[in-house]
Structure 1
Amino acid sequence: MTEIKNRWSEREQLDFFGSAEFAGMLVELVRPLGLDDARVTVVELHHRPGAGVSGVFEASTDDAVLYLGATAENLEPVPDGVVTLSSPKGRIEVWLHPADPRLPGLALATTPESVQLHWGNGRNLVDLRTLAYRPLRRAVLRATFDDDREVFLKVLRKDGDTLFRKHELLGEAGISVPKPLGPPLKDVLAFEKVQGVSMAEDLMHGDAIPLRPEAVLELLDALPSGLMDVPARPAWSDRLGWYGHAALTTLPEEAQRIGGLVQRLGRILESSDRGYLVPSHGDFYEANIFVEHGRVTGLLDIDSAGPGYLVDDLACFLGHLLVLPSLDDRYDRVPEYFETYAAAFARELESRGVGADGLFARAACVVLSLVAGARDEQDPQWRRGALERLELVERLLLRAP
């Protein structure tokens, strides 16, 4: 079985998951569930380089709707409740949502009665909405109760206790993080809503830079030393090969161009100094920072927080910032802000013995990691967005000769 799966390239997986042939297989799979001749559509696909492709599919008739998860990743031994389908080149494991085989708490977090019982505190649930779901990886939901109180539920594969402790560490250090409503339940953590708005929203609608560069640096410097005791996770630049592969899978016609970029980035990363190992956020960008009146009111998604390098956090911030104008015309002031942040971050890093070439090369790695994310099965023009991100990688490289 494993030998067959190894013949199944990730490019072939993406193509097959979006094919009429696979949709037909899912039509037959749901027929015994009472959905005769269902319409099957791709909701979204996720490509995890080196592991495989996963997706969410909708199967519907005039009277009913079901959602299915599917993956070409190796789940051996195949968990209970998962159905194996075979294609000429490999196997696909399929499950009925929310019975995700790697997220044991997903059913708990997506069942209104359970959410009201465990996190309602006597209130009635009026809305339960999925904000993000990556099959086999994680999910985030928002529960709204009848007093307008909102609770956010994060569903993890594992290590819920570690994430709970990270929130305690940062809270004790005076950093505004979402407050957990209690220890994890089946690796589901519930959080209160933070004040303010996401920096992404402020960048779109505000008339001034949301946070001074000095405030960004002060926030990262304030991360507690206790984070040095948790397991380290690789930064985007540490996974350059993986993300180059993902970009190549997304844009196979740009193979020579992508290969050249990966080689150039690799040479700069090998020769540039990262500085000292310090407490790090690990996923530091505008969507995970909440602000109000020029100050930080919330630091979200600290799952990757731990030992790391300041240059990688700042590169993550710059890489995501650079992509925003290509997503929405209302980010028209972001290029000006990018230059302000880039200059300030480069000066600060150089004062700490870290060169600007490493900063911009690592920011380019972040943008390269976002190329595959431009793929959108609902948007026939998604390839244009992927190419724009590749151009941004090249622009950043010009700053890191």
Structure 2
Amino acid sequence: MTADTFPEGFLWGVATAGHQNEGDNVHSDTWFLENVTPTVFQERSGKATNGWELWESDLDLVAGLGLNAYRFSVEWARIEPAEGEFSQDALAHYEDVIDGCRARGLAPIVTFNHFTSPHWFAARGAWLDPEAPELFARYCGVVMDRFGDRIALAVTFNEPDLPEMLTWAHLPEFVAELERQTLEAAGREAGVETYRAGNVMLREDFAGMRAGMTSAHRAGKAAIKARRPDLRVGLSLAMVDDVAGPGGEAMRDRKRSEVYEHWLELARDDDFVGVQNYERIVYGPDGQLPPEPGANLNGMGTAVEPDSLRGAVEYAYSVAGVPILVSEHGVGTPDDSIRAAFLEPSLGGLAQAIADGVPVIGYCHWTLMDNFEWIFGYGPQLGLHSVDRETFERTAKPSADVYRRLVERFRSAD
């Protein structure tokens, strides 16, 4: 790969998320679910990585990697902590982050809903509520009115397909039961019959939640475009590179139909679609095939496969037909040498997809630092930096320098 492998204006970034990094997101549904009994969350998020306070030095880390883009989320629960009441302090904070990005030469890629929503919204049934699309669009409009003129790309939803994907992940049955118990406990605590959230979802709600998020995506995009027609808007999808082994075509295609196709077809009307890829899974006629003996394994127990990014990107484009943003890509492992060795061949596969005609507008590595990984707590490690859980000191891993040097090589043509 040379400096002209990637197109001019290509966005090189890292991705983070509000609840996973900021800490003390006390008005959110996820915070509420973490603190009921029983709860499916192994740990509480607490201060997370204290990113709310350390955002300026975190942006310095991003800029120090030689990047030109930063993907992060604005937290609806901070901006609208009570229904119809908008926090000027929270809006001012995120405006400062936007301006801090631009001052450092970083294009702000803003996610409007990265799984979490306000507690009051969950108490209304979240995306099952008929008024959910209108409420989401109102929030998007408030954000756009404050600093939408300085956003580089807008992502409405992060991984709305994840619940369906997790049904293919062979999670123990007790996890689904504990999710149900968590939501029931939240309903009792909140004094409502139906407490629902975007990242703890019951299977019988899948169709209704998907319909609500679909309408909310369209409504949110309309609100964004009404204020700035030129701003490119899309959504980001969790996408395994699903590969058919001998006799596995029907199984692979069934998974694609159940998990991705609705959203990829929806994205045909968008300006781009985000691809979030972490693994390749090979299917035989009876289901998932085991990794090859001796393969390096990621935190999900599948083989570390750099070429999975190319496969996921090519499939997404074959269905959606719109430009691709790699909005997340990485590997969960405590062995940073695996991550460091994984980066260059992964980007080589992405370069091959571009050479073969897939329009790719950017790549964001997940993630800047080890953080709160939802129900799994602080165990999974996907960051380019480690974080001291007491002092919140960030320490660069060797993979951070590998990524920096690769980006330096590719950006030399800019």
TM-score by length of structure 2 reads 0.31
Higher relative contact order (CA 8 A, sep 6+): 2
TM-score by length of structure 1 reads 0.32
Identify the structure with the greater strand proportion.
1
Asked which structure has the greater CA Rg, the reply is 1
